[in-house]
Chains A and B, each alone.
Chain A
């Protein structure tokens, strides 16, 4: 029953609106406008509420370009706070820990797979996502799909607790110029993009953005200078018609986050994709990318080179929708530790990962579909692993989807899991296996009314072979990384969006998480936090998005997060932010925005090494489109 309570304000608010009447008024106006006036008329993107229901039988939340543009977010992690099924913890000015369904932390956050335009930014070196190395131009993001729960066949390994799938706009949809600048006491950002048509069936854009963030006040972690300056530039080009589509894109990233003289990070990537239509009911896609980064921070030098190739075939035949594919990825890393005696042995290594997958969506009846898929994967550290998933989707009408799923997922061993050593105290963990999950999920997603969309999901997860840091003798040393823990988690996720009036939209989401873990037999774990993370039992996020007039927009957001469940103690908090924007004319938008408005500082993360305090931040900015 509890899940219905949080919806009460949404339902109450919605009853005041009368969208139909307002629409009638608007229609009468349109017939008298010129084409130039029509082209200048702000529109509510109807996709907000009228988008066809996604058939994906998974816990899916979509952050739209509209949501991001109207939020106070100036970075990718801040934009991810819009997804109620993610827990976002700011660690330093530029570092974040982000997780779905638990295991959040800089070290523990190894169960969320993140893709930008099909390129994985999950690093196999340490099994985590280094968010501070990625600053795509926020205005060019088309949408962010956030799936909580196993990514299943299509995403595969390491998509244990969730997938964040970021897609940027096609180059054809970013023709023209954009300039953005924001300035406040705590951060300055600048961005520029120019898109142009090439020939009759292609377009390209180039962009660059720069972020300058002041350091945060000291939190639980050490006193560090986390002042961060970074820039990223890149391009995307799209060519072709309906039969053949070619995409090529790449980015360059540099940052000079300095804790020691000479610290710097650089990264670049290049991706090519070809989609070919084989007729009415089949298509295939080939994608290849190269990704490289190197960071020299606090005397730790690391680099990682990734080369990834994959092919995918989609075929619809009769009641079957089949997706099948295969891929190979190779990485070459290098890790040199000048800070302490821990090292990776060997210092540099090339790893290979092979995978093949197939999934069939079998429409049993017009409203019932069975989705069965399996992914096979082999990596340099572990043999072939079989990852099956089975889903049932029941869609009684176009406005409701009920689904249930059972899936197996694994988190494969990273270089650090297998080959970290400090002889004789820490021998390499040659026995470390994959961490395993069997997940049971069910959910409802639908539009009970044209102005209201709702989603409710429940999950029960069984984990096995979770990482433990164990003493091999009665003394502390030697210690080794082993798979000594198992346990369960369960929870509810629910969110809703209401188009209260044509000019006012509300959204509200809440998640709960209960974790229960124990050590197998008489095993030990010196670092439970590094394995299990530190998560809130619940969080609630809400936002209000108002078009006060044709020129004036007001967005407000609020979030409440309960205390984290593992020490060091991080109390719960309530924070709010907002953005008020004024369209000076068709080209120029002025805005003032604030994050963490309620308190000067608050704690979000308890990482003993680096956690700093999240801070109130107010800034003004402008966007110019031409």
Chain B
């Protein structure tokens, strides 16, 4: 037992020497980084894409990200398209959103109006219990998410196995 403890303590010592204190990021920064990247692992029905317009990343309701989302889409592309961030107060005008992060007191209502439309809805457990197709959770100090794959299929979206594998829970 004592010997094991010694090995353990020396492992900690080595780790302290080899790594200097690094700046941690906040959960919102990581979530903002995830949002445009989801587009690479989701297939929208062909009709949802119009010409070569940029991919709309919408924030509907309250916007917890501020400038973070605009920073995270910089330089990101999917199928040669750039992203554009749109901020909406309701589901009206959300039909051309590819991805919609929904937050605020009307989340439930907004999610219902987006059902059966090809919009990847995203919610955050930090702000409420309502769940979009992707629902962010913090697990073990990391940003993870659950995926409601049945809802995705109903909305005409196909989620790749690589994204499903990363989810902490897949339903449907």
Contact = CB atoms under 8 A, between A and B. Distances in A.
A197 B19 contact: no
Contact of B15 (A45, A241, A549, A586): A549
B26 A43 contact: yes
Contact of B75 (A29, A31, A241, A242): A31
Interface stretch (A77-85, A167-175, A331-339): A167-175
Interface string A221-235: 000000000000000
A503 B25 contact: no
A504 B15 CA distance: 18
B23 A22 contact: yes
A242 B111 contact: yes
Contact of A175 (B12, B26, B146): B146
Interface stretch (B53-61, B80-88, B90-98, B102-110): B102-110
B170 A625 contact: no
A176 B139 contact: yes
B138 to A, nearest CB: 6
A547 B22 CA distance: 8
A35 B41 contact: yes
Contacts of A199: 171-172
Nearest to A41: B30
Contacts of B109: 280
B130 interface: yes
Main secondary structure of the interface of A (DSSP, over half): mixed
B29 A26 contact: yes
A26 B30 CA distance: 10
Interface in B124-163: 125-126, 129-131, 135, 137-144, 146, 148, 150-151, 162-163
Contact of A241 (B9, B131, B137, B162): B131
Contacts of B37: 35, 38
Given A27-B29, A31-B74, A200-B148, A551 B142 contact: no
Contacts of B16: 548-549, 552
Interface residues of A, number: 57
B44 interface: no
B25 A26 contact: yes
Contacts of A50: 26
Contacts of A580: 12
Contacts of B41: 35
B29 to A, nearest CB: 6
A242 B142 contact: no
Given A241-B130, A552-B19, A201 B171 contact: yes
A332 to B, nearest CB: 35
A552 B17 CA distance: 11
B11 interface: yes
Interface in B1-24: 5, 8-9, 11-12, 15-16, 19-24
Nearest to B14: A582
B115 to A, nearest CB: 11
Given A200-B148, A201-B171, A31 B22 contact: no
B48 interface: no
A201 B5 CA distance: 44
Contact of B146 (A38, A66, A172): A172
A197 B171 contact: yes
A245 interface: yes
Contacts of A582: 11-12, 15
A23 interface: yes
Given A45-B141, A46-B26, A503-B22, 15 more contacts: A23-B26, A27-B72, A31-B74, A35-B162, A39-B142, A41-B25, A42-B24, A43-B29, A172-B169, A197-B169, A242-B130, A242-B131, A582-B11, A582-B12, A592-B5
The 8 A-B pairs with the shortest beta carbon distances in the complex, nearest first, are A22-B23, A242-B108, A549-B19, A175-B169, A200-B172, A26-B25, A30-B33, A46-B26
Interface of A: 22-23, 25-27, 29-31, 33, 35-36, 38-47, 50, 66, 170, 172-173, 175-176, 196-197, 199-203, 241-243, 245, 277, 280, 502-503, 546-552, 580, 582, 586, 590, 592, 620, 625
Interface of B: 5, 8-9, 11-12, 15-16, 19-30, 33-34, 37, 41, 68, 71-72, 74-76, 105-109, 111, 125-126, 129-131, 135, 137-144, 146, 148, 150-151, 162-163, 166, 168-172
29 contacts: A22-B23, A26-B23, A35-B41, A38-B37, A38-B143, A39-B144, A41-B25, A41-B142, A43-B26, A43-B27, A43-B142, A45-B141, A46-B27, A170-B125, A172-B131, A173-B125, A175-B146, A175-B168, A176-B168, A197-B146, A200-B148, A201-B148, A202-B171, A242-B130, A277-B108, A547-B21, A549-B20, A552-B15, A590-B11
